[in-house]
Amino acid sequence: MSNFEATSISLDEIRSTAREMYDGGWRLVTQTAVDRGDKRFELLYHYDKDLVEKHFRVSFTQGTIVPSISDIYFAALLVENENRDLFGLEYDGLVLDFNRSFYLEEAGDPMTAPFCKISTFTKPKVEV
Amino acid sequence: MTRSIIPFGPQHPVLPEPLHLKLALEDETVVEAVPALGYVHRGLEGLATRRDYSQMVYVVERVCGICSCIHAMCYCNCIEKLMSIEVPRRAQFLRVIWSELHRAHSHLLWLGLFADSFGFESLFMALWRVRERVMDINEATAGNRVIVSTNIIGGVRRDLSREQMNSILKDIAIMEKELKNLYDTMMNDYSVKKRTVGKGVLSKEQAHALGAAGPTLRGSGWAQDARQLAYEAFDELNFAPVVETDGDCYSRTKVRFREVFQSFDLVRQAIGKIPEGELAAKVKGNPEGEITFRVEQPRGELFYYVRCDGSNFPERVRIRTPTFANIPPLLAILPGAQLADVPVITLTIDPCISCTER
């Protein structure tokens, strides 16, 4: 059975929490964006100190601008740009904004997954 | 002074994978480095939501070619914990044996490539010759040299006979002897020291603040290794994280070389303590809930977040690989370096771009 626990925080608390964690000597492991459907998203912040993990959860709807923590934790730079590419999330205050060309062609259309649909198919059997 | 921008990669003689850095230079000195990724992004996290949770083992094995079985081990642990599956003890020891063999061959691969990056061709070939012996063990025990597909949800699909274990022990003894000579050659060589000592220094504070992982973190003085979490059979094995304190390219090289010996020691301990028993537990039903799990990959801490809703398909699989964590430290240590040192410094984070982009 999982003993995963994440503390729920509001959008306004993201930066103050990150600052508190940074000052307390916690390392940012990563962020996880979760598409909960119906235009609802969750963003999890994972921190670590001496191999102990701490998680924070923020819930919001599509189109909400999320405050970036990349000026506090430079390591957040990559994951926030990745979330911009793959989940269409918007961040305010990114220290280096790739403008949705982090993984994607600079000249191409921005792929705003999950709106970009991935599909798999099975080839029909060909009778010989 | 006028700045010039030059591309480093994605095609470069020292890079086995397509990493692209845009380097801003003043004369021959780097003043800024900006990464440009996306050459091998495959959308594997997206694919996770469209594959049965047991099929995903094969997908995560292909996140990284070099440490395939460690990805699978981490993912399996997530599902097993969510489903309260008790993995047989023998299977846990077998997972440790294959994962430590993976670490050894990954580090030997890197050490060879690193020697090649500053033109030490004979050392490159000598290190890869030793690595071949590990690849032969993989092939003999798992059927494949690189994608060692031994992990399944609930345990492992292959066993090791006593003869196979004895043969591994014999090979390890030979490799240790060969590597001892190569260690002295590499770490005391004038040219190697000239190219690595004092280059690309990552301070202890920087390493922590920038979220470094694995040998990049331990080379800067942090004794943190995810194996200390005592997953699988590591609770019964004695080891201490390999730590160096200078934070330069030489330190990171030394950490990796010493970790090869440590991996051989862990394999020897695991073979000495492995109990008899089943290889896998029965799996029934579907996983539900959310979980995080961390293991130590050759390049550092590998982090998985898995969320399942009780159906066949995971709702979200998030994979944070160690190279993803080590790119911000790389961007911090490149400014101030000479252009000629960029390939050497970049290689010392052991970049795995296939992992990073997934």
Contact flag B305-A44 (C-beta cutoff 8 Å): yes
CB B67 within 8 Å of CB B298? yes
Q: What is the mean pLDDT of residues B11-24?
A: 82
Residue percentage of chain B with pLDDT more than 90: 37
In a domain? residue A75: yes
Closest C-alpha among B266, B295, B283 to residue B168: B266
CA-nearest residue to A22 within chain B is: B209
- What pLDDT sits at residue B77? 93
Closest C-alpha among B302, B316, B287, B335 to residue B46: B316
pLDDT at A78 exceeding the cut of 70? yes
CB B60 within 8 Å of CB B75? yes
pLDDT tens figures, B112-128? 988 888 888 899 999 99
- What pLDDT sits at residue B133? 92
In a domain? residue A65: yes
Chain A residues with CB under 8 Å of a chain B CB are: 1-2, 4, 22, 25, 27-30, 32, 34-35, 44, 46, 50-51, 53, 55, 73-75, 77-79, 86, 96, 101-105, 113, 118, 120
Closest C-alpha among B71, B287, B325, B50 to residue A113: B50
CB B91 within 8 Å of CB B279? yes
In a domain? residue A128: no
Distance CA B98, CA A24 (A): 37
pLDDT at B141 exceeding the cut of 80? yes
At residue A115 the predicted structure's pLDDT band, cuts being 50, 70 and 90, is very low
Length of chain B, in residues:
358
pLDDT at A31 exceeding the cut of 60? yes
The count of structural domains within chain A is 1
Residue given tokens 């990669």 in the structure block: B9
In a domain? residue A110: no
How many cross-chain Cβ pairs, A to B, lie less than 8 Å apart? 85
pLDDT at B355 exceeding the cut of 90? no
Which CATH number fits the domain that encloses residue A72?
3.30.460.80
Does residue B10 have a cis bond before it (omega within 30 degrees)?
Answer: yes
Q: What is the DSSP string of A107-127?
A: SSPPP-TTSSPP----PPPPP
Residue B88 class from Cβ within 10 Å (0-12 exposed, 13-18 middle, 19+ buried)?
middle
Contact flag A30-B325 (C-beta cutoff 8 Å): yes
In a domain? residue A104: no
In a domain? residue A111: no
Residue ranges per domain, chain B? 3-348
At residue A110 the predicted structure's pLDDT band, cuts being 50, 70 and 90, is very low
Closest C-alpha among B151, B35, B143, B133 to residue B85: B151
Distance CA A5, CA B32 (A): 39
- What pLDDT sits at residue A121? 57
Q: What is the mean pLDDT of residues B251-259?
A: 93
What kind of architecture, by CATH, is found in domain B3-348? Orthogonal Bundle (1.10)
Average pLDDT, chain B: 89
Contact flag B305-A46 (C-beta cutoff 8 Å): yes
Angle between helices B162-187 and B121-142 (to 10 degrees): 170
Q: HEC profile for B160-208?
A: CCHHHHHHHHHHHHHHHHHHHHHHHHHHCCHHHHHHHCCCCCCCHHHHH
**Alpha carbon of B110: minimum distance to chain A alpha carbons (Å):** 24
Residue given tokens 């091998």 in the structure block: B40
Q: Which domain holds residue A62?
A: 7-92
Mutation site, A8, A27, A96, A100, interface B, largest B CB count within 10 A: A27
Residue B214 class from Cβ within 10 Å (0-12 exposed, 13-18 middle, 19+ buried)?
buried
In a domain? residue A30: yes
